[in-house]
Amino acid sequence: QISLRDEIEQTQDKRVKEALLLAFSPGLDKFGARHDRQAPRVPRTAVRDHFLERVADWVVFWKAFEGKNWAEVEHADARWLPWKPHSSSCLITSPPYPGVLDYGQIQARRLRWIGDCSTSDWVRKTEIGRRGMASTWTEGMQFALRQAVRTLRPNSPMYLVVGDGVSQKTALRVDEIIEDLIADLPATLVAVASQERPHFHRPTAHLFAKRARLEHLILLRRTSGDIPRDR
């Protein structure tokens, strides 16, 4: 991985270099050492093949975007979005899965390899529902959903992809929680499609013995009406 990163650094074209770094980034988690494990033993070609597969994917993505307008990207906290009320006609998102991953730690590890590390401390302090701190997930999602609904026009859809998780030795069924969180918002639950997903955290695997851990595609719809004032 060190040699591969050095070669990417020699790339002169900024867009190509960015695509190569995006292809390189997932391998840092897959093949690197973490606080809870040593680096896995894999064939010599595994890192190369994984990288080339991701590069091929990005070639397809770049071609699909040819001739399309570039999106505007803003860096913001989902609990306080900078967009004006009723400024969006659709929202598609995959919020953090409660207690499943430590997203901040993953991001910090990647940033050490590919970019500026200055944001990693901020991410660690503000992320929603990381493993070991999933008790904050419901509160964080309450604020995030409120902000999302605020930005949507009436009758606009909101799609969420999110999986069940664990908090304080309790299984969190996120489809049920999200339905409760929108109860006082001008939004309605339209449909939920779910699939079983493995749970790799052994100490909490027993929590999904009776009902398997599920990943959900949730469709909400903004209704007419105003966001209630904070209590």
Of all helices (H) and strands (E), which one includes residue 53? Answer: helix 45-64
Q: What is the pTM of this model?
A: 0.78
Average pLDDT (193-222) is: 91
Q: Could you report the per-residue pLDDT of 15-35, keeping only the tens digit for each?
A: 888 888 888 888 887 877 666
In angstroms, rounded to a whole number, what is the distance separating the alpha carbons of residues 186 and 228?
A: 9
Q: Could you report the per-residue pLDDT of 148-202, keeping only the tens digit for each?
A: 999 999 999 999 999 998 887 888 899 999 999 999 999 999 999 999 998 877 8
**pLDDT above 60 for 80:** yes
Contacts of 210 (CB under 8 A, 6+ apart): none
Of all helices (H) and strands (E), which one includes residue 14? Answer: helix 14-31
